[in-house]
Amino acid sequence: MRILLLSQFFAPEPHFKGLPFARELSRRGHEVEVLTGYPNYPGGKVYPGYRIRPWQREVMDGITVNRVPLYPSHDRSAVRRIANYASFALSASVLGPFLVKRPDVVYVYHPPATIGLPAIILRALRGCPVVYDIQDLWPDTVASSRMMTNRRLFSVLDRWCRLVYSRVDRLVVLSPGFRETLVNRGVAAEKIDVIYNWADETRLRQAGRDNDLARRLGLAGHFNVVFAGTMGTVQALDAVLESARICAATLPDVQFVFVGGGVDKTRLEQRAAELRLPNTRFLPRQPMEAIGAVLSLADAVLVHLKDDPLFRITIPSKTQAYLALGRPVLMAVAGDAADLIAQSGAGVTCPPENPAALADAVKQLRTMKASEREAMGAKGKAFYDRELSLRVGVEKFEKVFQAARSAVAGTTATDRPQSTISTTAKPENRRAA
């Protein structure tokens, strides 16, 4: 097939469904082309070697990449963020149809929701089916992040998303809860497939335990519970600090390690100092190529988000990385993410924003034999390889692409994609957002 990837984000920006996805599709014999913007994420500045022009065409690992102009910005200003999203949508809508070859199918990466405009225009002008991959449920995510508080604008965004969903041919979502929510909003169930995300396998490096690194980072001689990634308001890490305070009195060798950056990191460091927590350590952000070595020093890896209905139906991206690296997972997120850990046998779960429950879960892991924890990690790694890997995900996408192409061509797709893996999900853990 000739496949067009339509995404505002692409290499050299960090984007696991960008160049790795395109390469794997190409390796399987498909002709892949990309329509994207000029790289500026996450800093909001155009990357060195690029400058904003009416358009640019380059080849990356044999993949033709077409770039169209946008307003570069990724700061906390809602106006500038909207300008960033809208400018790319307009450029891709006006220039895109003339820059790319006619594809057999268009794959669209959402967010932002504005990506729906060039998707609809490409479908109308080129007559090609559109497979729309929903990674963030808008407008719910926008409301949760408080980027938009105007109820009228929120309503407009909601209506726009519903319009886009009705115009595209297939929807792919990252969790059963997303699918359930969209069905409750009137999207036909047979139009939606669940394909779990994979980790950034091209940059995520498996590593053995490095005792010298452990000493340099201050992790030697401790039972390390490691949180790696963005430290923002949605991670609700004050609850983790409170759990550390509880553990300081009952589990003296347990250390909570925070690796990464984010808008809330400085405040959290100050809060830990105010609480005089001897068992917390903050480390700087690590490149993806180096994080595997740091996580190999973890006795347990932590996922934590605030207790919000939206997060009950999502699966934080670090979950796949933790599973791929074979570390035992402490999942303090309710709903689909907890169901995935329970199904894989890769760790333990507890309610979010519940310091006492988190401390109990840490104690449960700490009192296990090391061999039992390693067995958990091995189960998680096997589950990832079998159900969540890049190879498995791309195979499922191929089937969705073929089904969309066949439906538009007026034929019946005989190879219906496997939309979900078996789950042990508890319906009461998922609510429509």
Q: How far apart are alpha carbons 224 and 218 in whole angstroms?
A: 10
Which pLDDT value is given to residue 144? 65
Q: How far apart are alpha carbons 290 and 297 in whole angstroms?
A: 12
Q: Please say whether the beta carbons of 275 and 248 come within 8 A.
A: no
What single string gives the DSSP state of each residue in 172-238?
EESSHHHHHHHHHTT--GGGEEE------TTT-------HHHHHHHT-TTSEEEEEES--SGGG-TH
Q: Which residues fall within 8 angstroms of residue 215, CB to CB, at 6 or more apart? A: none
- The model carries a pTM of 0.85
Q: How far apart are alpha carbons 298 and 301 in whole angstroms?
A: 6
Q: How far apart are alpha carbons 292 and 324 in whole angstroms?
A: 10
Number of H helices, E strands in the chain: 15, 14
Q: Which contacts (CB < 8 Å, 24+ apart) does range 66-69 have?
A: 66/33, 66/34, 66/35, 66/36, 66/96, 66/99, 66/100, 67/36, 67/37, 67/38, 68/35, 68/36, 68/37, 68/92, 68/95, 68/96, 68/99, 69/37, 69/38
Q: Please say whether the beta carbons of 124 and 99 come within 8 A.
A: no
Angle at the Cα of 331 from the Cα atoms of 327 and 337, rounded to 5 degrees: 105
Q: How far apart are alpha carbons 17 and 197 in whole angstroms?
A: 9
Q: Please say whether the beta carbons of 196 and 266 come within 8 A.
A: no
**What three-state secondary structure class fits 373?**
helix
Burial grade of 36 (CB within 10 A; 0-12, 13-18, 19 or more): buried
Which pLDDT value is given to residue 10? 96
Q: Please say whether the beta carbons of 284 and 208 come within 8 A.
A: no
Q: Please say whether the beta carbons of 431 and 140 come within 8 A.
A: no
Q: Tell whether omega for the bond before 118 is within 30 degrees of 0, i.e. cis.
A: no
Which pLDDT value is given to residue 52? 95
Which pLDDT value is given to residue 209? 85
Q: Tell whether omega for the bond before 352 is within 30 degrees of 0, i.e. cis.
A: no
Closest of 7, 17, 61 to residue 39, by C-alpha: 7
Q: How many CB atoms lie within 10 A of CB 201?
A: 18
Q: How far apart are alpha carbons 342 and 325 in whole angstroms?
A: 17
Q: How far apart are alpha carbons 300 and 363 in whole angstroms?
A: 11
Phi and psi torsions of 341, nearest 5°: -70, -40
H/E element, 12:
none
Q: What is the block-wise mean pLDDT of the chain (433 residues), using blocks of 10 residues?
A: 97 90 96 97 91 95 96 84 94 96 96 95 94 89 66 84 94 95 93 94 81 93 95 93 96 95 92 96 88 93 93 92 94 95 96 97 96 96 96 96 86 45 38 33
Region of 23 on the Ramachandran plot (φ > 0 left; ψ -120 to 50 alpha; else beta): alpha
List of domains in the chain = 2-198+390-408 (3.40.50.2000), 211-387 (3.40.50.2000)
Q: Which one-letter amino acid corresponds to residue 293?
A: A
